[in-house]
Amino acid sequence: MGGTKMAPGNTLQELRKLGQSIWLDFIRRTLVTSGELQQLVDAGLRGMTSNPTIFEKAIAGSSDYDEALRKALAADPVIDTVTLYERLAIEDIQMAAGVLRPVYDSTSGADGFVSFEVAPDLAYNTQVTLSEARRLWKVIARPNLMIKVPATREGIVAVETLIAEGINVNVTLMFSLAHYEAVAQAYIRGIEKNKNPQGVASVASFFVSRVDTMVDKELERNGSPDALALRGKAAIANSRIVYHRFQELFESPRFKKLQERGAQVQRPLWASTGTKNPVYSDVLYVDELIGPHTVNTLPPATLEAFRDHGAVKLTLTGRLEEARQVLAGLPKAGIDLAAITETLQSQGVTLFADSYKQLLTALDAKRKKIADAR
């Protein structure tokens, strides 16, 4: 990451006053060992997310891990590559969890989390996802860990069980209101089955910019003035509709009863919030999605940009009608948002699985190089 710039005023602390936590969508060993993560936490960072693509870039794309690799291979020359990757990744997660633990403690377990994903090739297997999530929860053994589980049909079944068992879950790869509805209902059912609900936390990771990337292509293909006027608007409208549903579900009498037993709301987490289209503001998906009980996880460049020139004001509430109008305009332009969001979810699973395979291949190459050198 390197030399994160301090902003005039403290935007991250200002966001906290509006009820939003900023997490970092990035992990790498030197970020923790250099003290940079601690500096960000001191400045108001409240958590951290990782995924197979982030780990692939960190481990395969840097020499940060070479020393740890040499040590692991010296101790166990026949260690399999998956175990080797896991050992490196888990060390990172545990170290980051250590830095964020004071945030977790000071918020009584409402914030200060680090997320780690079950292997992405398990996205369509409920039982193996469950056993892997339980194993990782035990092995990493940090109360401020969140296990990431994708919002596939099979993943959602696992989420309900994990929440009932008291395991913190970050439910990921949501793109539509239908995905969100299924996830929130699974969380509420899990909490209803949990004997000690105050001990568990969850976020619903809703992906933003990828929706615009795909919808904008279709709008440009249409080419009419009405279609072109909708560019860059679908993702934010989609997210605001989800936020409205979040408010309905978690302010309902059904959930109020659970809150009396100590249950926390499952906060929406805005993911994929780096701007992909250079025509749009580099902080578009931060500025436009600020509201109470939310998290936004930002890649390093977006975090720096927001701290430099982000606008801190409530933008999620009071914009529902506008959001509905944007989404109502899409079918008129020939856009099937439901079909697009299903495609995005299956693509998301594939992208993470590909990154995971590439990571294991790169690790294999590194271990051969170390063995040859010895």
**Domains of the chain, residue spans:** 11-373
d(CA 299, CA 49): 10
pLDDT of residue 192: 98
Question: What CATH number does the domain located at 11-373 have?
Answer: 3.20.20.70
CA proximity to 333, closest of 175, 204, 226: 226
* 265 Cβ contact list (under 8 Å, min separation 6): 246, 250, 255, 259, 293
Question: Encoding tokens for residue 109?
Answer: 């377990």
Contact indicator for 299, 25 with CB cutoff of 8 Å: yes
CA proximity to 337, closest of 100, 113, 177, 154: 177
pLDDT of residue 197: 96
Identify whether 148 is a catalytic site residue. Answer: yes
How does DSSP classify residue 110?
Answer: S
Question: Which residues in the chain land under pLDDT 50?
Answer: 2-8
Of 57, 138, 148, 276, which is the active-site residue?
A: 148
Q: What is the pLDDT of residues 145-186, one digit of tens each?
A: 999 999 999 999 999 999 999 999 999 999 999 999 999 999
Neighbours of 329 (CB within 10 A): 18
> How much is the pTM?
0.95
pLDDT of residue 9: 52
Question: Encoding tokens for residue 164?
Answer: 């009932």
Contact indicator for 135, 106 with CB cutoff of 8 Å: no
